[in-house]
Amino acid sequence: MTSPSVVMVTGASGNLGRAVLGELAQRPVRIVAVDREHAALEAALSGAGEGHALHAGVDLTDAGAVATVIEDTLKAYGRIDGVVHTVGGFAYASLADSDAALFERMFRLNVVTTVNVVRAAMAPMRAARRGSIVAVAAGAAVKAPAGLAAYAAAKAGVLRLMESFADEAKADAVRINCVLPSIIDTPQNRADMPDADPARWVRPEKLASVIGFLLSDAASDVTGAAISVPGRV
């Protein structure tokens, strides 16, 4: 019998993370859920069955902490087949209201976490000659509106990282892609933009479905791709 695949999800108790867990729960998958609070992770995984792992309080800007999660995963399951990296940071500020600290914070939350997660996961995947990694960039990485300079620059960094990592890993049959959503329909975004029409935004479940495809064997020839998921924005 083939062992279930093992997929790590960062930000697993967030809006998109929970949608990804729901997508994965439909498959024979062991989930390694990573986020800040243990209780929130338990709640997010409450309907996913048994055999999963929770890692709370992990600082993804700390390369050593991320490496420990991967090491623990390999000890527990003997493999890691997929990673979905949903963690990042958002900020809205005009250039006049921005400073170097804001750009550095966006860089650490978006670029540094991506480097740490992909670097830790890619080595065992390359050794096993299998694996799929999906990161969440943003539509603003391609076309940045006013007020999103720091955020868009960081997400553009994520996009280019994933392209380069994909080119590096493709000879070892490891696929690396990213998705570029517009505004995701979350309670926070609805509260922040009460006059907007959320029906035009991207539902987390729809974005999770695209991510699920990129993880699957159906996407075995897809790597280095930046998949736009704009909704109707």
Name which residue leads in pLDDT, 48 or 227.
227
Q: Give the H or E element holding residue 131.
A: none
- Domain 5-229 falls under CATH 3.40.50.720: yes
Averaged over 208-212, what is the pLDDT?
98
Among the listed residues 89, 114, 117, 115, the one whose alpha carbon sits nearest the alpha carbon of residue 14:
89
Domain spans of the chain? 5-229
By mean pLDDT, which of 7-16, 38-47, 141-150, 211-220 is the weakest?
38-47
pLDDT-derived band at 1 (thresholds 50, 70, 90) equals: very low
pLDDT at 128: 97
DSSP string computed for 140-169: GGTSPPTT-HHHHHHHHHHHHHHHHHHHHH
pLDDT-derived band at 2 (thresholds 50, 70, 90) equals: low
pLDDT at 3: 74
Averaged over 50-78, what is the pLDDT?
96
